[in-house]
Amino acid sequence: EAQVTQNPRYLITVTGKKLTVTCSQNMNHEYMSWYRQDPGLGLRQIYYSMNVEVTDKGDVPEGYKVSRKEKRNFPLILESPSPNQTSLYFCASSLRGRITEAFFGQGTRLTVV
């Protein structure tokens, strides 16, 4: 089954404690990205990757890091989480090509206290 898998689904952490949200896709997609969803703001792109070892900032990259060492995996790293990073996070992947649909993971609900 084609899917994008994120882990964990839910996470509560404390300010400053480094964490990683994993994302894996099994569709051999070249393009992957991370979004955050906040009330009244819709979905905003954090980082994206066009292929292995190729990553770039999206609209709201501050406080986040990513890496793309393998085609299937695209982890999101919060080196020092802060309460304003409390949000719902989605990983997405798509074939290379701007008009192809994106497949989204089920989301990670992060709370930073």
Partner 1 sequence: DQQVKQNSPSLSVQEGRISILNCDYTNSMFDYFLWYKKYPAEGPTFLISISSIKDKNEDGRFTVFLNKSAKHLSLHIVPSQPGDSAVYFCAHPGSNYKLTFGKGTLLTVNP
Q: For binding to partner 1 (CB under 8 A), which residues are involved?
A: 4, 31, 33, 35, 40-45, 48, 50, 56, 58, 90, 92, 94, 96-99, 101-107
**Phi, psi dihedral angles at 84 (to 5 degrees):** -75, 0
Taking the complex as a whole, the smallest distance from the CB of residue 74 to partner 1 amounts, in Å, to 13
35 class by beta-carbon count within 10 Å (0-12 exposed, 13-18 middle, 19+ buried): buried
Distance CA 72, CA 45 (A): 19
Taking the complex as a whole, the smallest distance from the CB of residue 41 to partner 1 amounts, in Å, to 7
Taking the complex as a whole, the smallest distance from the CB of residue 16 to partner 1 amounts, in Å, to 28
Distance CA 23, CA 19 (A): 13
Measured from the CB atom, the residue of 53 and 79 that comes closer to partner 1 is 53
Measured from the CB atom, the residue of 17 and 96 that comes closer to partner 1 is 96
Judge if the upstream peptide bond of residue 8 is cis by omega within 30 degrees of 0: yes
Measured from the CB atom, the residue of 17 and 47 that comes closer to partner 1 is 47
